[in-house]
Structure 1
Amino acid sequence: MADIDLGDERAEELSTLQSIYPELTLHASDPFTAHIDLLVAPISTLPVIFEPDRDVRRLAYLPPLHVEITLPAEYPAAAPPAVKLSTTRSWLPTATLEALSKEARSLWAEYGGGPVLYAYVSYLQEAAETAFGLSELTLASGMKADLLAYSKQMKRELFDKETFDCGVCLEPKKGSACYRMERCNHVFCVACLQDYYANCIQEGDVDNVKCMSTECGTKKANRKKDRLSPKELLQIPLALETVQRYAKIKRKKKIEADPTIIFCPRSWCQGAMRTKKYPKITDVREMGESESEAEDPVAPEERKEATAGPEKRRVGTTGMDRLAVCEDCNLAFCTVCLASWHGDFVRCEPRDSSQLTEDDQASLNFIMRNTSPCPTCEVPCQKSYGCNHMTCFQCKTHFCYLCSAWLNPDQPYQHFNNKRNKGCYQRLMDMAEGDVAQADVRFGGRRGAEQVAEFWEQEAMRIQMELNEEDIRTGR
């Protein structure tokens, strides 16, 4: 490096500027030439239009502004600093660069021939915060990949250097150990997110895989938007197998809740019919919000028709409208009679809805004997332990496990303290160890009616057996 005259005013100014901006670098062969890269992070993200596709992206960070300053011998008394500005990939318009360069001369004239380097660098920093006055930017599509990658990298690097209080464990953590939610920007440590989300997914509670902040999900219209996409879960990161299970459970729940979906009639398959509404999952690593959260509502007329039974669905269902193909075993079958596809012009009769396979009947019997239905959505619920104040897993309705009565969420235990509720009075802790389907446990509502019906059915069978034995003894 060339020797610097410490008595030179230029050297003193560069030394002062370097103490303020340690990233300022002096040229190896010219002690009065320096350069610095200034961060370009607009306060409001800058819309960038990539031509010719007109793909609009909002970038939080853009490649830095490279500033090269040369101080001539006449500076500062008789000559302004020589400034050369540039950016990587030349994303900033030439006219803007020229206007920024001219500002160095204007400041020098305004300061009356005094030192202006600090004022000029500060001016450039302020201009960068407003994206140099640009409301939008139009660039060639060939620059898109580099600019998007840079913005993402800078966002991560700056985030890693900060310190945050985790919204769950409340401990201060470095950004490198945290994750910022994409939609709401709430920050949690990765360990808390992994533990909570992995547990929810393992238990099948995929609706709670969302931001854990109390500020999110308070508005009903935004509850679905607060849920995370598989792609974001992998960024936290969660294990690929866990995210695959998450995506499969979400899809399964949507399919089962849609009455327009018909299932394969093969007892060993029971796969859903192929549908564009719920495409099969191929790669969760590419599943963003549009694929994981888009839930097209079922039209009222579709729901009415789908829940009316096969004999009603047949009305208006003609030709290929009846054809469905199982997504698992590829069986082509008729949606009306559930038989293998018999062609467009064959008249078919709907299958009796009472026809159940042996396995279906066994499952139905178990559900009837060992679960209590939610009074709102009728989903069967089984208690594994605790009191008889239940909260429906699906719709969050509060209800009594003994009689399926709706409970006031503000005063759920009043039901068990009311003497008028003779069947449930002071029975809050009955079956605290779980539903074991004991014969001496009395239920009310639908389940109680099933108990009574089963009791009298068994009584009738017992009496018939006694009569048969009496006939055998007497020879009748």
Structure 2
Amino acid sequence: MATTEVDDERIEELETLQSIYPELTLDPANPFSAQLDLLVAPAKPLPVTFEPDLGRPDHPAVGNTEANNTENAVVHRLAYLPPLCLKVELPAQYPAEAPPKVNLTTSPSWVPLDAIEKLEREAYLLWGEYSGGQMLFAYISYLQEAAETTFGLSELLLPDSVKAELLYYSKCTKKELFDQETFDCEVCLEPKKGSVCYRMERCNHVFCVNCLQDYYNNCIKEGDVNNVKCMSTDCGKHANGSKKERLVSPKELLQIPLSLEVVERYAKIKRKKKIEADLTIIHCPRSWCQGAMRTTKYPKIKDVREMDDSDSEADEPAEASSREEQAESGLERRRVGTVGMDRLAVCEDCTLAFCKVCLASWHGDFVRCEPRDSTQLTEEDQASLNFIMKNTSPCPTCAVPCQKSYGCNHMTCFQCKSHFCYLCGAWLTPENPYGHFNNPRNKSCFNRLMDMAEGDMANGAAQFGGARGAEQMAEFWEQEAMRIQMELNEQDS
């Protein structure tokens, strides 16, 4: 009779656990034996380094990267690790006279043996604390809490043989759990299942895939690649009020997914903008080519599927001083033709080897040369330049020419987002851009916020200041000189 009561007590505890953990399975051959897989999802992703020569794959060890010569190894931060498998067997004397028999394993083996032994020993200690009472639920709760801190591990060094399996498990588990959740898209504000949403890798903001695709495809189609970033208004904000936004990498755009063709366009435009903004880059002298010189700074795009975050940081607005330094540096290289200077450049498109100084085909290091006159423009180029200088206002930060189609004279540069006055080209403070037009001291712009509200149609009717005003003045005196000359010619005739 006593044995039956004990047996009933063991069965009762296992049935209670099964109602709490439906995934707990009983052994058909032994009604007093059960198995439960416990999810291992650390509160903070666990840094894991994989070492090819660690030794036996079934003996993982907590790693000291310096001691194991892995300072150059890649550290992977895993959000999920293979589950901890708990096998428990309740002996006939349990719970009054004997503790449960527990066995902990993982597949593949990634928890250090000493940590496994410590976890198994805790079952005996808990049994003692419960004075021979039922304690399996308390033990499982202890294991779940320990899993949140990855059983006390701060980092992990594992053999390379388990790398692929662990990385795949973490990725699949993360996606599976994400697909089961429901999120409010931060753009359309509608509740969506995770299976139709995407979580941004860097900041974890969640949007539905349709909203991301519509926005990013439109940005890339319009060439506005500097806005291919997280759409959350809070993204990148710091406690001090500053904000640093980063562009989405091509690799992540493909994961959303965007088409390979669109992502390739994004990467090419981004690289083109960087090259155009760098005054140290020399272009091929062949008129039919004009490709950029080869450089490790902006390597030619081979496969966008391998371009990660480091290749797509947002461009910082160029300061005037840094641009001047770039220009002076480039001019100095073009001006000086000393022996030993690295003057050889190779076009990345047509592979022409040419001299950076004189732009002629490569003539060797021991030939002194002079820079080609950069003021010599073709008739077509000169006409284009004259139109731009006459009918556009340059951004005071990056010098990109801007033409207003409608609205007020407070402009925001499309390229670098600087605020400036369209009339005189002055910088405007983002906090109070309209104060410039309300200040009587600014005689050329006072009360002229809405001048040319219908747009600058290149009619030359409005009076400008700054560089554009100087062009206007030069054109006026040129026309005046021509008029006077014509009057003199008529008098002579």
On whether the aligned pair clears a TM of 0.5, the verdict is yes
Deviation at 1:402, TM superposition (A): 2.1
TM-score using structure 1 length:
0.87
Aligned-residue RMSD, C-alpha = 3.2
1-structure distance, mates of 2:322, 2:149: 52
- Whether the 8 Å contact between 1:320 and 1:344 is mirrored in structure 2 is yes
- Whether the 8 Å contact between 1:311 and 1:350 is mirrored in structure 2 is no
Alpha-carbon displacement from aligned partner over 1:250-273 (angstroms, at most 9, x marks no partner): 211221221211111122222111
1-structure distance, mates of 2:398, 2:132: 80
Deviation at 1:286, TM superposition (A): 0.5
Give the secondary structure class of the aligned counterpart of 1:43: coil
1-structure distance, mates of 2:367, 2:155: 62
Equivalent of 2:406, from 350, 360, 385? 385
Deviation at 1:63, TM superposition (A): 0.2
2-structure distance, mates of 1:336, 1:186: 49
- Whether the 8 Å contact between 1:267 and 1:357 is mirrored in structure 2 is no
1:32-431 aligned within 5 A = 32-52=32-52, 54=70, 55=73, 56-218=75-237, 226-293=246-313, 304=325, 306-307=327-328, 310=331, 313-315=334-336, 317-319=338-340, 321-418=342-439, 421=442, 423-431=444-452
1-structure distance, mates of 2:307, 2:241: 22
Alpha-carbon displacement from aligned partner over 1:277-317 (angstroms, at most 9, x marks no partner): 1100111110112233398999x999647436657643364
Moved more, 322-331 or 369-378: 369-378
Give the secondary structure class of the aligned counterpart of 2:158: strand
Amino acid at match of 2:309: E
2-structure distance, mates of 1:116, 1:312: 79
* Alignment partner of 1:457 is 2:459: no
Moved more, 282-291 or 389-398: 389-398
Amino acid at match of 1:31: P
Partner of 1:447: 468
Deviation at 1:401, TM superposition (A): 1.3
Deviation at 1:158, TM superposition (A): 1.9
- Label 1:308 to 1:279 Cα distance change in 2 as closer, same or farther (>3 A): closer
2-structure distance, mates of 1:269, 1:466: 48
- Whether the 8 Å contact between 1:197 and 1:209 is mirrored in structure 2 is yes
- Whether the 8 Å contact between 1:259 and 1:303 is mirrored in structure 2 is no
Amino acid at match of 1:357: T
Give the secondary structure class of the aligned counterpart of 2:31: coil
Amino acid at match of 2:23: E
Length, aligned pairs only: 468
Q: Which runs of 5+ in 2 are unaligned?
A: 53-68
Give the secondary structure class of the aligned counterpart of 1:412: coil
Deviation at 1:434, TM superposition (A): 2.9
Deviation at 1:420, TM superposition (A): 5.6
1-structure distance, mates of 2:88, 2:441: 89
2-structure distance, mates of 1:370, 1:301: 27
1-structure distance, mates of 2:307, 2:315: 14
- Whether the 8 Å contact between 1:163 and 1:174 is mirrored in structure 2 is yes
Amino acid at match of 1:41: A
Partner of 1:17: 17
1-structure distance, mates of 2:103, 2:189: 47
* Alignment partner of 1:8 is 2:28: no
2-structure distance, mates of 1:39, 1:337: 67
1-structure distance, mates of 2:229, 2:30: 57
1-structure distance, mates of 2:156, 2:394: 58
Alpha-carbon displacement from aligned partner over 1:325-371 (angstroms, at most 9, x marks no partner): 11112111111111222222223221112111334323312311221
Structure with greater contact order relative to length (CA < 8 Å, sep ≥ 6): 2
Give the secondary structure class of the aligned counterpart of 2:342: helix
Give the secondary structure class of the aligned counterpart of 2:37: strand
Deviation at 1:465, TM superposition (A): 5.6
TM-score using structure 2 length:
0.85
2-structure distance, mates of 1:175, 1:467: 82
Deviation at 1:209, TM superposition (A): 2.1
Deviation at 1:469, TM superposition (A): 7.2
Give the secondary structure class of the aligned counterpart of 1:88: coil
